[in-house]
Structure 1
Amino acid sequence: MCGIAGVFHADPSQPVDPETLVAMAAIQHHRGPDGFGYKTQDDRGVGFSHARLTIIDLDENRGRQPFVTPDGHLMLAVNGELYDYKRIRTDLTSRGAKFRTKSDSEMVLHLYERFGLEDMLPYLRGEFAIALFDRQHDRLMLIRDRFGVKPLYWTEVNGRVVFGSELKVLFAHPEVPRRFEARGLYHQLMQTMVPGQTAFEGIHQVKPGHVVSISRRHGKLEIRDERYWDMDFPLQSERGPEKDEQHYIEGVREKLTEAVQLRLEADVPVACYLSGGIDSCITLGLSAATQQSPVKAFTIGFDNDDYDETAIAREMAESVGADQDIMTLSADHLYDNLVETLWHAERTIYNTLGVAKLLMSRHVNQAGYRVVVTGEGSDELFAGYPSFRRDMFLHGLDTLSAAERASWEQLLSESNQLFQGAMLAENELHDPALDALVGFTPSCLQPWLASAEHAPGLMAPHLREQVQGYEPGRAIAEALDADMLEGRHPLDKAQYVWIKTMLEGQILTWGGDRVDMANSMEARPPFLDHHLAEEAVHLPPSMRINGRTEKYVLREAMKGLLPRVLYEREKFAFMAPPAHTDPKKWAAMRALADQYLSDDAVAEAGLLDPAGVKALFDLHQAKDTTASTQVQLDAVINHMIGVQVLHHQFVAQDIPRLARRKAESLGWRP
């Protein structure tokens, strides 16, 4: 697990500056504190750099990247982990491949040499972001894993492509502009990003399951974005009759067990994150069954009983003999670390869970661990979120009797009241473009589309003018693949939209990689193993949501592993308490607002409208504002503070200079 960076010139005779490459590695030192490397091919106008976190092959020199083949035809830099690599290496060796390291990453070179790009990709199992330069075909390839666990950004500027694991890596290049884009700002204020886009002008993400290929032709860059994998739910007409329930249970059990076992492979100790949800409890249980020694389990607790899950987590840890470490966080303490979290997340966040995760990753690192197995992805594969249950009821259960419908309505009104305004909209919302594409507006997007009504009024007049008539729901809809939605069951559609928006843009970003790697901590989510995902798409909707039970097949597959209280427990979304629920936390949030949302700070950044900011706070405190609306406005306030902090960190600050100073302080030099 590491950080990668690089530059590719349209003019192959233009060399890449080594000092810039080293600075780009240094500014992501947190991703790879164990050393760095860089390589250039001056006659081809290309250069890569790499900051290394040692997980597989701990030899400092042997595993140093970028890798270059002996003939110089291929150059490679990898961020992430590739599983099942020992078996693949054995197979490649039998075909004549000669490995120079024990690294899992090196096999990419041999796979590409023997199979080419398209046939290589199915071998890549895991969480990864890859940069690969093919000298013979004069082509740079940027490859991202299937769900987007690992980040990878790129931009084209002044006849060059600049890429890296984080935005700040691109900004460390002196040619890359650092400016908010009006529509990107709009989406930061409403939470949900358009897939593939960022808040900053000209900066793109490699989409999950995609390859961005950059070639040179007549002195210009040709850029192609191609998908190699997707969450391909079967057409309803192709599903056929349901098989016996045990068939699905055994299939999930087999694939998940294998995915967990693969993610325990490392040359350093592996621990587990443990909340009170069934997902992390399952990964802990399977890890404990695989390892002979007690598993170390790390748990976040909150000083708010409505949000704290430590009692159930403790019961699970005791049931498998895990060595549990509980870190309890106070509500007001979270805002003390929001600015640091935003530096790493590089986007606004609606809930301080991201801060809690950053503090936990620091705690785990200080305890001597740098790899954890996590539960992310389970809700996406097995329909665990309340929004899925709502969409299933509204759009996927046409044959309910009056009594059954009444039971569902009661369930939906009673469950997850704690998350109204955040995970569920207070009122039903219909977006015309999403209705047209999906057949309905997925419930997961509704709270953020409701928040969107506040965004234009918060933006500075010159930016507000640029988004006049802009429809955020339409922009999201146009970024989704209609072919992957047409003819699918409503539950399949709801899960697909969540995976393409909330999973990649939120859970795996400020709730995952970015706050884990802030403290050189690698998180491995076995539920996002694509072999398991390809099993999950064939589950009938009734195996995912069965009556009042969500994630039904997963519960049944792991029934003997879970304590009874957890097996029977309804889904509880893991979140930090909203600011308005605690006077100390509200005061801590207001202190940040006083600093970053003052008239002077707003005027200096030129992003927000002071009158709009004041009006939103007034609405939050109005006597007739409902609790659900307050939760929604808490999120918008967090976003307002966030864009101001991001301006200070990435626009007002001289990032290229900061990166060079970081390299100097580390002693990293060409």
Structure 2
Amino acid sequence: MCGIAGIFHREPEKPVDPQLLANMAAIQYHRGPDGFGVEMMNGKGVGFSHARLSIIDLNENRGRQPFKSADGSLLLAHNGEFYDYQRIRTDLTSRGARFRTKSDSEIILHLFPRFGLDETLRRLRGEFAFALYDAKEDALHLVRDRFGIKPLYYHASDEGVVFGSEIKVVMAHPAVPRRFNNQGLLHQLMQVMVPGTTAYEGITQVKPGHVVTFRRQGLGYEIQDRPYWDVEFPDASFHQGPKSEEESSETVREGLTEAVRLRLEADVPVGCYLSGGVDSCSILGLSAAMRQQPVKAFTIGFTDAAYDETPIAKEMAAATGADQDILRLDANALYGHFEETIWHTERTIYNTLAVAKFLMSRHVREAGYKVVVTGEGSDELFAGYPSFRRDLFLHGLDDLPETERRRWEAMLGESNKLFKGAMLADDELDDPFLTDRVGFTPSCLQPWLACEETARDVLNRDRLGLLADYKPGHAIAERLDRAKLDGRHPLDRAQYVWSKTMLEGQILTWGGDRVDMANSMEARPAFLDHHLAEAATRIPPLHRIKDRREKYVLKEAMKGLLPKTLYEREKFAFMAPPATTNKDKWSAMMELAQDHLNDQAILDSGLLDGAGVRRLLAEAQSENTSRARLVQLDAMLNHMLGVQILHRKLIATDIPALAAERARSLGWIVKEPAVA
């Protein structure tokens, strides 16, 4: 895993400043502290830079990127991992390819000329984002992996294109604006983003499973944004008729085993994240079986017992003989590192779990590990969230007997009470635009759509006026592909919407890459192997959730590896405790609020309304506020702190100057030729 950056001028004769490229690499030093490189193509108006985290091919000089093809026509900068690359290398070598490094990245330079971009992407397996400039076509391709595990952003203007692995990398170019857009700001306060957007004016992200191509034509260039992969559930009729549970379990077992095996390959030690959930326990169990030696298992523990999963994690670690390392976190630790976490996430967070994961990735690096295998993606594939059970019950079980219906209603009423207001809405909400597009308003979006009124109440009055006719639900619905929704089973539709919104916009950003790579630590989510995902979409909905048990098929597939306690228990959402229900955490949050939510700070940023902020704080301290509302207000307070911190750190800070200073302090100074 690494950080990439680049510039593509509209005018090919315009030279690219190599030091600016080095500065863009330096501001993402945390993504790649093991070295950097700068490479340009003379007379083409294009240049890339790369900050390297060495995982495969540890030779500093041999594995240095950006890479040029042997004939000089291709320029590549790659972030991520291509699994199964050794088999691909063997095949390419038999076709006459001659490799200059042991890097997995180099396969692109041999696949692309032989097969073209579409076939190249079909053969790639893993999590990745890369930029490829093709001099023969005079075209720049920006590519992001199928689920959006690795980030990639760009700014396109009349002058050309600036891209990078993080928003601050793009902002390090002095021509890129640094300001919020009003729609993005509202969505930051509501938590859920419109797919493919950011909160920043003029900065776009490459969508998961997409290629964005910039091709020079005449005096300008054209932009083509197209998908090369998407989550594809079958028509609902595919699930009709009896299906074998054993076959479904075997499909999961085989697919996950292969995915874990591939992700254990590295030239450095590989550990595992271990919570008390079936996902990470399955990963650890498989890893231990393959390694046949103790696996290092890293666990987050919270001092609030209601949110702590370490007892089950300990049981799993003991069962596998893992070398367990538990990091316990309290309120002061979580809010004491809130600002630092926001600098890396570049978006707001509704829960301090992001801070916990940031601190854990630091702890992992300090323990001497660069790579861990994680359990993200399991809930998405096998319907693990309480929102999925609710949607299945409400929209996919019309023929339930009355006695069973009452059991479902009782279970849903009791399920995850701790998380009402965040993961589940307190009351049902119907958004007409989403209902038109999906057939119903997915439960996963309801708690955040329910925040719209509160978000508008705390928004700056001038900005609010410009959003009078804006409908967040409509904006989200318009980005959902109707062709992937129509005719699908209701549970499939709910899972598809989650994958396009919460998975990419939350779990894989502030819960994944951004807080992991903040400490130069690579996380590998085995469940998001696309071969496994494609197989999972064809597993019957009632094998994913059976008899009110979520992730039934996964538990059956991993039954021999899981402790009995975990196999039998209900899904427990992994979250940090909210500040609004915890006295110590509230005090820690208010220390930050004194700095970022005071009248002068609010006036300086121009993002929030002081009176609205005061009303929300008063409601959060009222004894008459329900627990579900307190959980919702906790999220809103975190979002308000987040936008204020983002303004101070990204908008009000001179990012180009900061990037230049980082480069000087690191000694990343480019002299001709333009390679450090």
TM-score category by the smaller chain?
over 0.9
3-state SS in 2 of match to 1:163: strand
Match of 2:431 in 1: 431
2:54 maps to what in 1?
54
SS of 2:404's partner is: helix
Which string of whole-angstrom CA distances, capped at 9 and with x for unpartnered residues, describes residues 243-276 of structure 1?
Answer: 3211111111101000000000000000000000
Cα offsets for 1:637-666 (capped at 9, x unmatched): 110110000000001100000000000000
Structure 1 contact 242–540 (Cα < 8 Å) conserved: no
Query: Which residue does the alignment assign to 1:464?
Result: 464
| Aligned match of 1:503 | 503
Match runs of 1:511-522 below 5 Å: 511-522=511-522
* Paired amino acid for 1:161: V
Q: Match of 1:179, SS? A: coil
- Name the residue aligned to 1:170: 170
Corresponding residue of 2:296: 296
Residue type of the alignment partner of 1:367: A
AA matched with 1:47: G
* Deviation of the 1:624 alpha carbon: 2.4
Partner of 2:100: 100
1:7 equivalent in alignment to 2:38: no
Match of 2:405 in 1: 405
Residue 462 of structure 1 and its aligned partner are, at CA, apart by: 1.6
Once residues 655 and 554 of structure 1 are traced to their aligned partners in structure 2, the CA distance between those partners, rounded to angstroms, is 46
8 Å Cα contact 1:172-1:655 kept in structure 2: yes
Structure-to-structure mapping, 1:94-243, within 5 angstroms: 94-243=94-243
TM-score when normalising by structure 1: 0.99
CA apart distance, 1:71: 1.3
1:358 partner SS: helix
> What are the Cα deviations for residues 135-181 of structure 1, in whole angstroms up to 9, with x where unaligned?
00011000000000000001113421100000000010010000100
Q: Report the CA distance between 1:409 and its aligned residue.
A: 0.2
Q: Deviations over 1:586-638 (max 9, x none)?
A: 01101111100110001011111111111111222233211100100110011
Q: Distance in 1 between matches of 2:87 and 2:564?
A: 38
Three-state SS of the structure 1 residue aligned to 2:306 is coil
DSSP 3-state at the match of 2:451: helix
Query: Counterpart of 1:279?
Result: 279
Q: 1:545-584 maps to which residues of 2 (within 5 A)?
A: 545-584=545-584
Consecutive unaligned residues in structure 1, runs of 5 or more: none
| Alignment partners' CA distance in 2, 1:333 and 1:120 | 45
Shift of 1:669: 1.2
CA separation in 1, counterparts of 2:317 and 2:242?
36
2:30 paired with 1:30 = yes
Amino acid paired to 1:408: W
Unaligned runs of 5+ in 2: 671-676
Task: Provide the rounded CA distance (Å) in 2 between the counterparts of 1:4 and 1:133.
Answer: 13
Moved more, 28-37 or 449-458: 449-458
For 1:306, the equivalent position in structure 2 comes to 306
Question: CA contact under 8 A between 2:581 and 2:630: conserved in structure 1?
Answer: no
Instruction: Say how many residue pairs are matched.
Output: 670
Equivalent-residue separation in structure 2 for 1:86 and 1:444 (angstroms): 39
CA distance in 2, matches of 1:581, 1:633: 10
Q: Distance in 2 between matches of 1:480 and 1:439?
A: 12
Paired amino acid for 2:646: L
1:390-422 CA-to-partner distances (Å, cap 9, x unmatched) read 000000000011101100000000110010000
* Deviation by residue 1:327-373 (Cα, 9 ceiling, x = unmatched): 11112320010000000000000000000000000000000000000
Is the 2:80–2:127 Cα contact (8 Å) retained in structure 1? yes
Q: Which residue of 1 aligns with 2:650?
A: 650
Matched residue, 1:75: 75
CA distance in 2, matches of 1:317, 1:4: 37
Task: Find the counterpart in structure 2 of residue 537 from structure 1.
Answer: 537
State the distance in 2 between where 1:92 and 1:151 align.
Answer: 28
- Deviation of residue 240 (structure 1)? 4.5
AA matched with 1:257? T
Q: Give the letter for the 2:192 counterpart.
A: T
Shift of 1:239: 3.7
Amino acid at match of 1:314: K
Does the 8 Å contact 2:194/2:501 carry over to 1? Answer: yes
Partner of 2:253: 253
Q: Hey, what's the Cα distance between the residues in 1 that align with 2:629 and 2:239?
A: 41
1:286-317 deviations in Å (ceiling 9; x for gaps): 00001032100000000001000101000000
Pairing 1:361–2:361 present: yes
Name the structure 2 match of 1:348.
348
Over the matched positions of the two proteins, sequence identity in percent amounts to 66
CA contact (8 A) 1:14 1:42 kept: no
Matched-pair contact (CA < 8 Å) for 1:456–1:467:
no
Give the partner amino acid of 2:267: D
Corresponding residue for residue 21 of structure 1: 21
**Structure 1, 610-619 or 482-491: larger mean CA deviation:** 610-619
Letter in 1 for 2:522: E
Work out whether residues 424 and 447 of structure 2, in 8 Å CA contact, stay in contact via their aligned partners in 1: yes
Aligned-partner Cα distance in 2 for 1:581–1:59: 51
User: Distance between the aligned counterparts of 1:211 and 1:157, measured in 2?
Assistant: 18
Letter aligned with residue 206 of structure 1: V
Query: SS of 1:212's equivalent?
Result: strand
| Contact 2:10-2:158 within 8 A present in 1 as well | no
* CA contact 1:12–1:43 (8 Å) conserved in 2: yes
Separation (CA, whole Å) in 1 of partners of 2:128 and 2:492: 26
Distance 1:589 1:331 in 2: 8
2:661 corresponds to 1:639: no
Decide whether the 8 Å contact of 2:580 with 2:620 is kept in 1.
Answer: no
- Give the Cα separation in 1 of the matches to 2:541 and 2:121: 29
Secondary structure of the equivalent of 1:213?
Answer: strand
Give the Cα separation in 1 of the matches to 2:12 and 2:466: 37
| Cα RMSD for the two superposed structures | 0.8
CA distance in 1, matches of 2:155, 2:238: 41
Q: Counterparts of 1:602 and 1:244 in 2: how far apart (Å)?
A: 59
Distance, in Å, in 2 between the alignment partners of 1:48 and 1:345 is: 23
**Any idea what the Cα deviations from partners look like across 1:45-67, whole Å, max 9, x if unmatched?**
00000000000000000000000
Matched, 1:450 2:444: no
Contact 1:206 1:212 in 2 (8 A): yes
Verify the 8 A CA contact 1:271 1:373 in the aligned structure 2: yes
